[in-house]
């Protein structure tokens, strides 16, 4: 028998209990013995819910119970999650978590403790919800050097941008609708400013580099400035706008960034609509691959957590060796990253054509019928630092700039 | 040091050597020791190629060398691959293979020998080329009951159908073009008749059921009868036609099938174009997920093989417990499977409207401008057996039938 304690009976916690109870039989087969829910930790009581029988309000009961093999942290936030996870690992228990904030901040340290104690710290659900991505990176793409990971990692903003694309709606309208439908929080900052996606790409960057990538070091730009007019230009170019979290390797250097990007319809991520997430991976041998699924939601997230629990239950006393050291990775600045830039500018292209070509290389103009007093263009491929330097001279004319993803 | 012998220096074999040599350093880090190519078995010599130094023409040299830990079978075909793999496992060596014919036929038996000998038999590359799908099913989706796997598992036919969709070309033209471009064999039967996809879905069905699914039991229909006119109807309905290999679970029953299907543009597989493969998975907890990538090609396939080698090198003396017994699974007949059917019929809808509705339920007519003397319609949801029974009365009027995937 493998005993499990779940910390937190909120959305994901109750999902974990539901997944285990629903699929108990096949899960036991896969583990090779019975997976037993021994405790659920929560401040509240749940009278009438069968879980009430195993509710405890005291973490000490769990951490001091030698029979508990696996602790599932699904409370969210840094504290007391961090303390509980650390103490569980130190007590020789494996831990599975869905907590991206915790993993982004303390992942390396917790993995180190897990290794020392010969147990495991797994966190598949912290990136991409139900989508299997961390374990495939760790145990399938092991013949490759991963040169790029680019993901649509936030369902809320993808839902909003999808609405803006198909319905021509403006940012404020779709935000209100997303809030009314429960897809966005009343305070939507973590989603719309890109902070959520930023923590997830920090975790992915740490996994593929094997070093600590701090999310504070990652340039992060949200979707709050994207307008219905921007989307019109995108459509005219056969593109859409997506909030992309990306991590690219060039030689020894790694650059990471979160920002809205123009994406051509030939790109595998172009068609990822609504609240779904998707992660594009380019390996130096594999080439392009993509992983798609539900990036959030009670049962999909819980499915990933239970996948981790089963993996831990199948590997007692055996650390699976996820490589992510505490050594800090110095990210390359975004100034070095070469790409093309889409710029909306006041005035008329005829007047400044020559000057623009001299500054931004072979440019392509984009015209939208009925768009008065402005025009759009795409620059040649250039490092972002060079674009910024050149753009200074046009400060008062530039309406907006959106990065172009290949 | 972990010693590897590669059987066969053809496309995939030379790819395996290239992947290991190119990424030797990171591969060694992941294994925790040096992965050493000790032998390459081939009937030929390769003077001038560095591989010549480790070429052997004699399998006995490999199987009797106690230093060889892992044997990589990339020869293809059933014999001598089967004998070599079996003898390698019996000699206590782990085996990685890309050989779908071998795995579909002898997978259960070879897994059993691997388990008895406490080694591993892995075959990620045999389905979906470079796409990680078997290991995610085995070690990530372990909290789920997989209720459906539907894949575009053959790049050649997908390339052809994509051309037919975008260019309105006819079957014969695109086959010739695919042959001229090297995407299709001179004898294209294995691809266009669906036999290749059929072996792959047999492997997937075996993995998710844990029992032996014989590919001979799977209804298999290729794309040879699909015409430019069929594709016109598909477009009119907001759909496309794809060769789908599918395995669905309904209660205790599992049904598998390979056939061209109409797919609506809201389906995740709709946008999978060209030679790419993609595998859609529905778990009872996870919901929808999809895995996308290169289904063939030297380096993507080799990348998956090397992923298996690394997994085996990291797990010496430890069977990973892939569940696939020799017990045969009796598949449900396709007659029981409920879906809708698209039918092209001679004549005019007005005349037979009432009769068709009485036989096929609430039908939807599809009209293509300029299509003379025929019309199309989609039946209500019904078991295929019932459709077949009803269709008998219209035998001389029905031009063609294509299954509709949700």
- Residue-wise pLDDT for A34-65, tens only, equals 999 999 999 999 999 999 999 999 999 999 99
B residues 286..325 contacting A (CB < 8 A): 286-294, 297, 299-300, 302-307, 309-311, 314, 321, 323
Residues of B in contact with A286 (CB under 8 A): 130, 293-294, 299-300, 303-304
Nearest CA among A132, A103, A126, A92 for reference residue A3: A92
Say whether pLDDT at A118 is over 80: yes
Q: What is the mean pLDDT of residues B169-176?
A: 96
Match 């073009």 to its residue by tokens. B177
A residues 18..37 contacting B (CB < 8 A): 18-20, 22-23, 26-27, 29-30, 32
Contact B387, B321 (CB under 8 A): no
Say whether pLDDT at A301 is over 80: yes
Please provide the average confidence, as pLDDT, over all residues in chain A. Answer: 96
pLDDT digits (tens, 9 = 90+) for A236-251: 999 999 999 999 998 8
pLDDT digits (tens, 9 = 90+) for A180-231: 988 899 999 999 999 999 999 999 999 999 999 999 999 999 999 999 999 9
pLDDT digits (tens, 9 = 90+) for B216-254: 999 999 999 999 999 999 999 999 999 999 999 988 899
Instruction: Specify the pLDDT at position A251.
Output: 83
Tokens read off for B344: 């092209």
pLDDT digits (tens, 9 = 90+) for A175-188: 999 999 888 999 99
The CATH code of domain B2-130+298-314 reads: 3.40.50.720
Cβ contact B143–A293 (<8 Å): no
A69 to chain B, minimum CA–CA distance in Å? 18
Distance of alpha carbon A138 from its chain centroid, rounded? Answer: 17
Query: What is the CATH topology of the domain spanning A135-293?
Result: Dihydrodipicolinate Reductase; domain 2 (3.30.360)
pLDDT digits (tens, 9 = 90+) for B75-113: 999 999 999 999 999 999 999 999 999 999 999 999 999
Burial A276-287 (b: 16+ CB within 10 A, else e): bbbbbbbbbbbb
The ipTM of this complex is 0.95
Say whether pLDDT at B130 is over 80: yes
DSSP secondary structure letters along A340-392:
EEEEEEES-HHHHHHHHHHHHSS-EEE--TT--SEEEEEPPSEEHHHHHHHHG
Q: Is B265 on the interface with A (CB under 8 A)?
A: no
Residues of B in contact with A29 (CB under 8 A): 323
Cβ contact A29–B300 (<8 Å): no
d(CA A13, CA A61): 18
B27 to chain A, minimum CA–CA distance in Å? 6
Please provide the average confidence, as pLDDT, over all residues in chain B. Answer: 96
Question: Quick one: chain A helix, strand, coil %, rounded to 5?
Answer: 40, 25, 35
B290 to chain A, minimum CA–CA distance in Å? 5
Instruction: Specify the pLDDT at position B80.
Output: 97
Residues of A with active-site annotation: 200
Cβ contact A135–B131 (<8 Å): no
Longest pairwise C-alpha distance within chain A: 77
Q: Give the torsion sign (CA, B176, B180, B185, B186).
A: positive
Q: Is B96 on the interface with A (CB under 8 A)?
A: no
* Phi, psi angle pair for B348, to nearest 5°: -130, 140
A28 to chain B, minimum CA–CA distance in Å? 10
pLDDT classification of A357: cutoffs 50, 70, 90: very high
d(CA A199, CA A196): 6
The CATH code of domain A336-405 reads: 3.30.70.1150
Q: Classify residue A228 by burial, with Cβ atoms within 10 Å: 0-12, 13-18, 19+.
A: middle
Residues of A in contact with B145 (CB under 8 A): 23, 26
A386 to chain B, minimum CA–CA distance in Å? 33
Query: What is the CATH topology of the domain spanning B135-294?
Result: Dihydrodipicolinate Reductase; domain 2 (3.30.360)
Cβ contact B136–A132 (<8 Å): yes
Instruction: Specify the pLDDT at position A406.
Output: 75
Q: Is B155 on the interface with A (CB under 8 A)?
A: no
Say whether pLDDT at B406 is over 80: no
Cβ contact A303–B286 (<8 Å): yes
pLDDT classification of A252: cutoffs 50, 70, 90: confident
Locate the chain A residue with the closest alpha carbon to B315: A320
Residues of A in contact with B270 (CB under 8 A): 271
Structurally, at CATH architecture level, domain B337-405 sits in 2-Layer Sandwich (3.30)
Tokens read off for B147: 């209720």
Residues of B with active-site annotation: 200
Contact B359, B393 (CB under 8 A): yes
Burial B142-179 (b: 16+ CB within 10 A, else e): bbbbbbbbbbbbbbbbbbbbbbbbeeebebeebbebbe
Cβ contact A307–B143 (<8 Å): yes
| Residue B11: half-sphere exposure toward Cβ, Cα within 13 Å | 10
Segments making up each domain of chain B, as ranges? 2-130+298-314, 135-294, 337-405
Write out A305-342 in H/E/C secondary structure: HHHHHHHHHHCCCCCCCCCCCCCECCCCCHHHCEEEEE
Task: Outline where B181-217 has alpha helix (H).
Answer: 189-192, 195-209
Give the rounded percent of residues in chain B with a pLDDT score beyond 90: 94
Say whether pLDDT at B366 is over 80: yes
d(CA B358, CA B352): 10
Instruction: Specify the pLDDT at position B350.
Output: 87
């Amino acid at each position: 028998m493998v005993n499990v304690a779940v910390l937190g009976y909120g959305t994901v916690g109750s999902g974990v209990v539901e997944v285990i109870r629903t699929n108990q039989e096949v899960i036991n087969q896969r583990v090779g013995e019975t997976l037993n829910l021994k405790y659920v930790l929560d401040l509240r009581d749940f009278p009438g819910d069968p879980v009430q029988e195993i509710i405890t309000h005291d973490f000490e009961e769990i951490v001091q119970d030698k029979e508990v093999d696996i602790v599932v942290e699904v409370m969210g936030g840094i504290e007391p999650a961090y303390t509980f996870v650390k103490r569980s690992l130190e007590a020789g228990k494996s831990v599975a978590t869905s907590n991206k904030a915790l993993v982004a901040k303390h992942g390396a340290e917790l993995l180190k403790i897990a290794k020392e104690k010969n147990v495991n710290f797994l966190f598949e659900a912290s990136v991409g919800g139900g989508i299997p991505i961390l374990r495939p990176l760790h145990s399938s793409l092991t013949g490759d050097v991963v040169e790029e990971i680019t993901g649509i990692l936030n369902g809320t903003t993808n839902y909003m941008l999808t609405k803006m694309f198909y319905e021509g709606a403006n940012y404020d309208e779709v935000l209100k609708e997303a809030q009314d439908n429960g897809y966005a929080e009343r305070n939507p900052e973590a989603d719309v400013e890109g902070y959520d996606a930023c923590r997830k790409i920090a975790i992915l960057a740490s996994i593929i580099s094997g070093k600590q990538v701090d999310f504070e070091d990652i340039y992060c730009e949200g979707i709050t400035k994207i307008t219905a007019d921007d989307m019109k230009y995108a459509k005219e170019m056969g593109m859409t706008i997506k909030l992309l979290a990306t991590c690219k390797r060039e030689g020894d250097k790694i650059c990471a960034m979160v920002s809205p990007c123009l994406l051509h319809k030939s790109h595998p991520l172009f068609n990822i609509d609504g609240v779904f997430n998707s992660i594009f991976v380019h390996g130096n041998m594999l080439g392009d691959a993509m992983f798609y699924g539900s990036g959030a939601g009670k049962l999909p997230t819980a499915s990933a957590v239970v996948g981790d629990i089963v993996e831990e239950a199948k590997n007692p006393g055996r650390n699976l060796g996820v490589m992510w050291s505490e050594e800090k990775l110095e990210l390359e600045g975004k100034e070095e990253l070469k790409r093309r830039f889409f710029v909306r500018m006041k005035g008329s292209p005829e007047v400044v054509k020559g000057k623009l070509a001299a500054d931004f290389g072979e440019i392509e103009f984009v015209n939208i019928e009925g768009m008065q007093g402005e025009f759009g263009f795409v620059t040649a491929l250039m490092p972002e630092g060079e674009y910024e330097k050149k753009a200074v001279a046009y400060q008062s004319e530039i309406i907006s700039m959106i990065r172009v993803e290949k």
